[in-house]
């Protein structure tokens, strides 16, 4: 396995991009088929199984790459906010939107951008540790609260939105109920969230341990111990562990909300060979392959 990583890197460096794309699609489909067969052969199991902690070093040497870094510098925050405003505008009309609410705002710069457009822009998070002073200066109104108990009156918001946060909320069902409560009739909610828990990077530990599905393959204590021994941060964020099936059911059955658009985004087969090699680690979590292949969800909901 240790020889595979250098060979993969050499191939990526010298092969033409179109050839790499075609090869990647063919090889990815082949790996997924292997994983499907392996899961079916393993069958559902009652208790999760894990690899020994000693296997962590072997997999770390396999050449897995972490996702692209996210910029949190001043310019990076502004660029990300502008990009998210474009996403919102593509999802719903922003003209006439007077009162907005972001759930899981962190830096609050998206709310600030909406405030600059004339909206009363509320930005909610459980902590103000990441909240940008610039956001408040530009008009974002910070609310420190759990998303399952929004401190706003009923039917008072035109647009609720959230980026990469729902997977961190302890009770997404309570959050959806609160969204339905605070939205005005006809108001919209735009939710983009992930990586989902059972997807390759669902533990949100990829900066230190870029092994896909590390949280499915290894015990939580072993991941923390390994990172600590290597001098790496391991204060990974809380994730609620909800499955794709749970989110699908929730989004289609929350009273007062109807789905206007819905899209699931795949992983591209990242790490799927690990499912084929170690199906016993995955079978207790799910036997449907899409639970491991869907990484993010985009949904637009409307208050009925």
Q: Looking at the structure, tell me whether residues 50 and 150 fall in a common domain.
A: no
pLDDT of residue 9: 56
- 3-state secondary structure labels for all residues of the chain: CCCHHHHHHHHHHHCCHHHHHHHHHHHHHHHHHHHHHHHHHHCCCCCCCCCCCCHHHHHHCCCCCCCCCCCCCHHHHHHHHHHHHHHHHHHCCCCCCCEEEEECCCCCHHHHHHHHCCCEEEEEECCCCCCCHHHHHCCCEEEECCCCCCCCCCCCEEEEEEECCHHHCCCHHHHHHHHHHHEEEEEEEEEEECCCCCCCCCCCCCCCCCCCCHHHHCCHHHHHHHHHHCCCCCCCCCCCCCCHHHHHHHHCCCCCEEEEEEEEEECCCCCHHHHHHCHHHHCCCCCCCHHHHEEEEEEEEEEC
Q: Is the pTM of this model over 0.85?
A: yes
| Claim to verify: residue 147 and residue 217 sit in the same structural domain | no
Say whether both 259 and 205 belong to one domain. yes
268: left (phi over 0), alpha (psi -120 to 50) or beta: left
Q: Of 171, 193, 215, which one is at a domain's C-terminal end?
A: 193
Tally the domains of the chain: 2
Do 212 and 173 share a structural domain?
no
Last residue of a domain, one of 193, 210, 232: 193
pLDDT < 50 positions in the chain: 1-5, 23
> What per-residue confidence (pLDDT) applies to 75?
81
**Domain boundary pick from 138, 168, 193:** 193
Whether residue 203 sits in one domain with residue 61: yes
Asked whether 136 and 119 are in contact (CB, 8 A), the reply is no
Name the residue range of residue 94's domain: 74-193
What are the tens digits of pLDDT across the range 157-204? 999 999 999 999 999 999 999 999 999 999 999 999 999 999 999 999
Q: Are residues 20 and 165 in the same domain?
A: no
Q: CA–CA separation, 8 vs 61, rounded Å?
A: 13
244 in the same domain as 167: no
In a shared domain, residues 182 and 274: no
Residues 64 and 82 in one domain: no
What pLDDT, on a 0 to 100 scale, did the predictor assign at position 6?
54
pLDDT at site 43: 81
Q: Both 292 and 238 in a single domain?
A: yes
Note the pLDDT of residue 28: 72
Are 54 and 81 within one domain?
no
CATH number at residue 123: 3.40.50.150
Whether 105 and 151 share a structural domain? yes
């Amino acid at each position: 396995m240790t020889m595979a990583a250098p060979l993969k890197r050499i191939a990526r460096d010298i092969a033409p991009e179109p050839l790499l794309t075609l090869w990647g699609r063919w090889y990815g489909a082949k790996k997924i088929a292997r994983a499907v067969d392996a899961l079916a052969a393993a069958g559902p199991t009652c208790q999760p199984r894990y690899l020994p902690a000693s296997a962590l070093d072997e997999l770390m040497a396999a050449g897995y790459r972490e996702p692209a870094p996210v910029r949190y510098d001043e310019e990076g925050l502004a660029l990300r906010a502008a990009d998210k405003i474009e996403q919102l505008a593509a999802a719903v009309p922003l003209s006439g939107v007077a009162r907005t609410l972001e759930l899981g705002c962190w830096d609050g710069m998206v709310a600030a951008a909406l405030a600059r457009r004339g909206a009363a822009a509320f930005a909610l998070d459980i902590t103000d540790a990441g909240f940008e002073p610039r956001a408040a200066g530009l008009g974002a109104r910070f609310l420190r609260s759990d998303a399952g108990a929004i401190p706003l009156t009923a039917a008072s918001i035109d647009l609720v939105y959230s980026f990469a946060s729902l997977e961190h909320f302890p009770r997404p069902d309570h959050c959806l109920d609160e969204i339905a409560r605070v939205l005005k009739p006809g108001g919209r909610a735009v939710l983009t969230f992930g990586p989902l828990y059972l997807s390759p990077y669902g533990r949100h530990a990829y900066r230190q341990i870029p092994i896909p599905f590390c949280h499915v393959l290894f015990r939580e204590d072993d991941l923390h111990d390994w990172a600590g021994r290597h001098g790496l941060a391991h204060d990974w964020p809380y994730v609620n562990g909800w499955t794709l099936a749970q989110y699908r059911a929730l989004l289609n059955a929350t009273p007062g909300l109807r789905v206007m658009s819905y899209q699931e985004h795949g992983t591209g087969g990242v790490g799927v060979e690990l499912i084929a090699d170690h199906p016993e680690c995955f079978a207790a979590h799910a036997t449907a392959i899409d639970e491991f292949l869907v990484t993010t969800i985009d949904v637009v909901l409307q208050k009925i």
